[in-house]
Structure 1
Amino acid sequence: MGKRSSIDHLKWWQNIKNHRYIRIFLFIVLGVITYSLMVTNIIPETLEVEPGVVAEQDIRSPITIENKDETDQLKQAAYESIEPIYTTKPRYVQNQIERINDIFGTIRQVQQENKEKSEEAEEIEERLEEIYEIQEEVDELEPELEEELELLEASTPDVLTIHEQLERVRTIISQHTSQDLSDETLITFLETSEENLRLAQETTTSAIHDVMSNEIPIDEVENARSQAERKVIISTVDSSLYRAMIEMARFGVTYNYLLDESATEQAREEAVESVDPVMIREGQLLVEEGQMITSEIYNNLALVGLLDDYGVLYPYIGLGILVIILISMLGYYLNDANTSIKKNNTHLLMYVIIYTVTLLIIKLVSLTHLVGVTGMTYIVPVAMGTMLMTILLNPRIALFTSMVLAIISSIMFNEQSSGVLDYSHGIYVFFSAISGVFFLNKSHKTMRILQSGIFVGFLNVLVILALIMLKNGQYALVEVGMHVMFAGMAGFLAAVLTLGLLPFFEAGFGVLSTTKLIELSNPNQPLLRKILLDAPGTYHHSVMVANLSESACEAIGANGLLARVGSYYHDLGKTKRPHFFIENQMKIDNPHDKISPQLSKTIIIAHPYDGAEQLREHKMPKEIINIAEQHHGTTLLKYFYHKAKQDTDREIQEEEFRYPGPKAQSKEAAIVGIADCVEAAVRSMNKPTPDKIEKLVKKIITDRLEDGQFDECNITLKELSTVATSICETLYGTFHSRIEYPEEVSEKEEAKIRKEAGERK
């Protein structure tokens, strides 16, 4: 096998890959690349046009914005269109009737007060006349009468004249009404009788009630008073009282149909709120080619920002914020998810390169709109990136990246969109990217990759048809066919690019893909041929270990193919001194019988590290090297340890006869170590039976577990039980019982038997 140099073997990368800031630097590079490839798609478009010129092209709005001037005009028109709202005030009728009744009540009160004073004055006058008559009969009044006379003269009440009564009435009613009632009317009511006063009150209040039961606007008050005047029809009173009643009726009638300011204002506010904002929608045609640019159109162009550079920095700042959010989320996920990228900066660099290549292809395809072929941008093979990530890294990483690529694509493909985002391409890229992940997840074979391309193309077609139907536009059959054709080609192109780029990433980053593992398992590989020729027993042992470890790994969901290939190379170090290992000692003495246990220990313990060194020299994948180096972990060489204790009286430490490690770091390395020990032990058994095999396998796994050999890998007790079961089942098939055939009888013995039989006859 030719030597292969990956980036992990380059000195400059070895010097910086574990630097504390290298991950931050790679994510910054990722952000810069993303921003650089997207920035040309968000540069604001500006036009050099003037009112009165003819538009040279169709101009559409790049944004959705409200035309506030037109909206305000519509709101003002709606406000002014609402007529004032008038309402009838039923309480006004009652108020006016109560006012009239108060006036009549005041007149009665003044009449009654004056009447009482008149009667009291008459009584005093009568008593005075009696006293005067007594005084004429006698020369001098008695003291009692003289005192009474003085008292009566002093207490005689003043009876009010009619004008004084008028003033008294006005004094009382001035708080409730104006001076609209004439003196003649009030005097007439003051001089009339109680019966006529009651009749006047009933007649006027009835007329007022009848008239004010209807709506009376302010400008109709005079007509209403005329109606009240006509309703005062009575012939049993004199003319002066009749005129007073008419004046009182006219005075009592007033407007009751008034402007309701709150209701009017509320109706106007509702009318204003019902006005929809005048919006200029994204993609709206502002001016057609050949159309005259009027002042209104010019204002609209200015409103959407097509005439000046105001706020030109905002799109760049917005894109920067978006890229920071995307890269931050991506960085958080990649550092948090339990994948190889979490700790392996080489894999992170590979992710950055795949991501960058994918973005470059997306950018290149986005420029095909300049060709003018309908639907050509849908040929973008974005699934290539996610398929490579699925094969080389992890499906979960590919799924998360699909969302990021969809957002980026919605901006990169906005050249044919009136806005910054093209949601159609964003949705299309999202489904195209994740479809390759789903179909490719369980197998990475070449045929599977080609099948994934077909599946991606099929799903692309479905998505395109769905988008066309959702838009509900007028599409010609040829146009639909072009969209479908390019979408289908995108899947095929993604598969071809994946197959073409895969070897470069595998070689450049030392990625151990399924294809590479199959290549390494070829018996014609130089290192495998070296094992076969130099240590045939070790080769046979490695094949047996491969069978055991592959089935066990697949039983717990680990990489069975990696375990098989790792098993082929795990004892490569034995080729350095093959005859010191028992499986290669055919018809020769065991050399360990002639050397000390310490020397034997040194030779045996060296083989994992000798093999790892040879693998490194041949630029073998790191996973294979790790299995070779870790399959013995820090286990104890029990045979030579006990032999050393028997050969000397001094205390021998176990650490002297233990492998230096490291312990198994992966499930595959742990299982290969178990299978290696089990195969050697079973091979040395005399007449192995299923019970013996099962007990032996469980004992070996238990001993390794108690010895802490699985402390540094994430294998569980349940998985160890499954591994034991799988290994036993494989061994049962290998060491099954065979039928004992009878020994063949030689020709001489057969002739002798025939002779003896003939003699007996």
Structure 2
Amino acid sequence: MKKLINKLLVNHSLIYKLFLYIATIILVVYLFPKGGQFKYEFQKGKPWQYENYYAPFDFAIQKTETEIENEKQQITQNSKHFFEYNEEIVERVKNEVTQKSTEVFQNSELSQEEKLDLNTRIATILATIYQYGYIEASSESKIEKAAITLRKGNKIEEIQPYKLFTSSQILNFLNSKIGTQPYTEVQNQLLNILYDAIKPNVSFDEVFTQKTLEENLNKISYTKGLVSENERIILKGDIVEGENLRVLNSIKNEFESQIWSKSNYNWIVFGYTILVALAFLMLFLFLRKYRLDIFENNNKVTFIFFNIILIVLLITIIVKYDAQYVYVAPIVILPLVLKAFFDARLGLFSHVLTVLLLGFIVPNSFEFIFLQIIAGIVTILTISELYKRANLFISVLQITFVYFIAYFAFSIIQEGNASNLNWEKFLYFALNGAATLFVLPLIYIFERLFGLISDESLKELSNTNSKLLRELAEKAPGTFQHSLQVANLAEASANEIHANAMLVRTGALYHDIGKMDNPMYFTENQSTNVNPHNELTPRDSAHIIINHIIKGVELAKKHHLPDRIIDFIRTHHGTSLVYYFYKKEEEYTGEDVDESYFQYPGPIPFSKETAILMMCDAVEAASKSIKEPTAQAFDALVEKIVNKQMEDGQFMNADITFKELQIIKKVLKKKLKNIYHLRIEYPE
């Protein structure tokens, strides 16, 4: 049991990677659609490249979206507008008019014959108005057709719109039917009663109209015609267009919408699992072969897998909602983020693998994969310095333009002309570009979540007005000036061998912050001839000098500097000796001295950037001791220091070549000559 536990502890990093690998496969396969897949790829306007294709089963030919939309528009245009006839209002009006007219007749001196005539007129007026009804003013705008449908209870009647009375017609109609002018007093009274009592009783029935429209729309058939099993669909070499295209799209949709049995479902999941496992295995192998430092860092591996899952999840959500918006998703953020934290090659490799996986989810997978891979390549090639916002903005414009051009080419190939372009897609690409600009805040979030560092953060840290560097300038001004000189040398060297110049410059600015603890024990900060080391033993002096590494690491962690910057503090002296005090101890004791008391704790540099800093730091410090600065003196100094570091094995773990070391030597020699060049003496 103990051996098993020890093995688990020793191999915990590998076990974690295996767990991450399996968990990622399960999650990605879970997100994938589990329906059937049509095994043939085809495009409009292109020849059918496979053998003659026959229907494997009976299926219906589906109508195109355009046909369905036209049918819906036709139904909507021809849909009936229903108006409701209210019987209660009619009865209420008749009762009110009868009651009030009776009161008028009782108080009048009209003869029975005259009363009967007026009653007949009133009854005729009401019967005429309410034969079809008096429409509400708010419903008049709904009368748009030659005929309308009137609902009287459960009865429906088609009538001409002019048969309905409107508010503008009522008064003239009453005047014409109540009698001849001039009206008698009784006629005027009756006219006022009718005008006040008559109310609209016909209104637009929006609920019933909409319900009828929806019922008619639901009756639309989405298919036309039937293809029988073993019926020939298309011949090899035939152009995929017209009826062929409709039939192929129909059977493709039929495959993708099939409800699979349990056995089929399991096989589909098994197939997906193999393909996804292969894709992520390729990523692991790439990291193992070309980026071993990342492969051995579980945090970084987790970060890469997390970003890939995030993109797959985003596309899955969009496809489930509406696949036409798939190009709005800023997939190029993936290579951007990975390039910002690692390198361009890893960013592009991960992007290509992710896009290939997404081909299982999206419609028109070939078009999608082509567009996204081209966009990813453009992203990697155009964005060189992400921390410069202008560079990012220009690169996003270039990426969007490439999307436009590539989609335009696909469209004219498929449609045969440029008149049927889907202009909405261009809007989606523009939104994609705008969303890509979100990469900067996203990088900041990832830095906090995963403890990584990007060029944007390096730019902020390299600002000499930052709190820690201002403190260094105040407490140890000589060290601060030394750090600036080293930063300039290191940046120039990194640029020549294509290392991370921003990283090495930032590391150089902070590499000696530990000297703030005892600044006067370092010669660059001694403004007088008093040297405090004169009062100490060589061993004590060496301890103070070496201790600036430990103090620097403590100070860096206290101010939450990233680990990649702390690495420069730890490695800039490697495991070299404090040679001056080592020799002084030999002279003092006259015996062999234990080197461990005078040796820096290390570790030795493990990257190009940390190796560059070691060389630049030693050369810049030693250059101050040259009394007569000449070109030959600087050449000899650089050769001596760098060769000594190589002989001591300080660069064994650094990924740096002999050719790159020679280039760095040339840069250092040239820069030192420029710094210490002699000026002419001006006459007094």
C-alpha displacement of 1:645:
1.7
RMSD after superposition? 3.1
The reply to whether residue 32 of structure 1 matches residue 26 of structure 2 is: yes
C-alpha displacement of 1:727:
0.9
Out of 354, 375, 388, the residue aligned to residue 432 of structure 1 is: 375
Q: For residues 654 and 737 of structure 1, do their structure 2 counterparts lie closer, same or farther at Cα, with a shift above 3 Å needed?
A: same
Out of 353, 371, 377, the residue aligned to residue 404 of structure 1 is: 353
The residue aligned with 2:186 is: none
The residue aligned with 2:391 is: 448
Q: How does 1:324-723 map to 2 (within 5 A)?
A: 324-338=277-291, 340-369=293-322, 375-414=324-363, 422-441=365-384, 444-472=387-415, 477=420, 479-494=421-436, 496-587=437-528, 589-723=530-664
Q: Which runs of 5+ in 2 are unaligned?
A: 1-8, 42-50, 64-220, 233-249
Query: Residues 479-538 of structure 1: CA distance to partner in whole angstroms, max 9, x if unpaired?
Result: 5211222223322322x2212301111232232322111101112222111211111111
Question: What's the secondary structure of 1:741's corresponding residue?
Answer: coil
Q: 2:577 and 2:222 mapped to 1: Cα distance?
A: 91
Q: 2:281 and 2:609 mapped to 1: Cα distance?
A: 34
1:64·1:282 contact (CA, 8 Å) conserved in 2?
A: no
Q: For residues 733 and 435 of structure 1, do their structure 2 counterparts lie closer, same or farther at Cα, with a shift above 3 Å needed?
A: same
Q: How does 1:221-236 map to 2 (within 5 A)?
A: none
Letter in 2 for 1:280: A
Letter in 2 for 1:312: N
Q: 1:501 and 1:602 mapped to 2: Cα distance?
A: 44
The reply to whether residue 43 of structure 1 matches residue 38 of structure 2 is: no
Letter in 2 for 1:344: N
Q: 2:539 and 2:408 mapped to 1: Cα distance?
A: 76
Query: Residues 573-609 of structure 1: CA distance to partner in whole angstroms, max 9, x if unpaired?
Result: 1111111111111125111101111111111111112
Question: What's the secondary structure of 1:652's corresponding residue?
Answer: coil
Q: How does 1:159-308 map to 2 (within 5 A)?
A: 279-280=54-55, 286=61, 289=221, 296=228
2:337·2:439 contact (CA, 8 Å) conserved in 1?
A: yes
Q: How does 1:52-91 map to 2 (within 5 A)?
A: 62=38
Q: For residues 457 and 287 of structure 1, do their structure 2 counterparts lie closer, same or farther at Cα, with a shift above 3 Å needed?
A: closer
Q: 2:459 and 2:543 mapped to 1: Cα distance?
A: 34
Matched-pair identity in %: 28
Letter in 1 for 2:641: I
The residue aligned with 2:264 is: 312
Question: What's the secondary structure of 2:359's corresponding residue?
Answer: helix
The residue aligned with 1:23 is: 17
1:64·1:280 contact (CA, 8 Å) conserved in 2?
A: no
The residue aligned with 1:747 is: none
Q: 2:22 and 2:326 mapped to 1: Cα distance?
A: 29
Q: How does 1:123-162 map to 2 (within 5 A)?
A: none
Question: What's the secondary structure of 2:431's corresponding residue?
Answer: helix
2:35·2:259 contact (CA, 8 Å) conserved in 1?
A: no
C-alpha displacement of 1:713:
1.2
Q: 2:673 and 2:557 mapped to 1: Cα distance?
A: 36
Q: 1:409 and 1:526 mapped to 2: Cα distance?
A: 46
The residue aligned with 1:165 is: none
Q: 1:426 and 1:559 mapped to 2: Cα distance?
A: 31
C-alpha displacement of 1:632:
0.8
Q: 1:22 and 1:458 mapped to 2: Cα distance?
A: 42
Letter in 1 for 2:513: L
Letter in 1 for 2:594: Q
1:62·1:283 contact (CA, 8 Å) conserved in 2?
A: no
C-alpha displacement of 1:723:
1.1
1:637·1:657 contact (CA, 8 Å) conserved in 2?
A: yes
Query: Residues 234-284 of structure 1: CA distance to partner in whole angstroms, max 9, x if unpaired?
Result: xxxxxxxxxxxxxxxxxxxxxxxxxxxxxxxxxxxxxxxxxx855139999
C-alpha displacement of 1:423:
2.6
C-alpha displacement of 1:368:
4.3
C-alpha displacement of 1:631:
0.8
TM, length-normalised to structure 1: 0.60
The residue aligned with 1:97 is: none
C-alpha displacement of 1:611:
0.5
Letter in 1 for 2:506: V
Question: What's the secondary structure of 1:286's corresponding residue?
Answer: strand
Letter in 1 for 2:456: T
C-alpha displacement of 1:442:
6.1
Letter in 2 for 1:447: A
Q: 2:251 and 2:553 mapped to 1: Cα distance?
A: 72
The residue aligned with 1:254 is: none
Question: What's the secondary structure of 1:708's corresponding residue?
Answer: coil
C-alpha displacement of 1:34:
1.3
Q: 2:260 and 2:316 mapped to 1: Cα distance?
A: 26
Q: 1:644 and 1:294 mapped to 2: Cα distance?
A: 100
Q: For residues 328 and 678 of structure 1, do their structure 2 counterparts lie closer, same or farther at Cα, with a shift above 3 Å needed?
A: closer
- Alignment length (residue pairs): 489
Q: 2:58 and 2:329 mapped to 1: Cα distance?
A: 24
Letter in 1 for 2:29: Y
C-alpha displacement of 1:342:
2.0
C-alpha displacement of 1:630:
0.8
TM, length-normalised to structure 2: 0.66
The residue aligned with 1:187 is: none
C-alpha displacement of 1:695:
1.1
1:350·1:509 contact (CA, 8 Å) conserved in 2?
A: yes
The residue aligned with 2:243 is: none
Q: For residues 618 and 298 of structure 1, do their structure 2 counterparts lie closer, same or farther at Cα, with a shift above 3 Å needed?
A: same
Question: What's the secondary structure of 2:404's corresponding residue?
Answer: helix
Question: What's the secondary structure of 1:636's corresponding residue?
Answer: coil
C-alpha displacement of 1:726:
0.5
Q: 1:411 and 1:536 mapped to 2: Cα distance?
A: 61
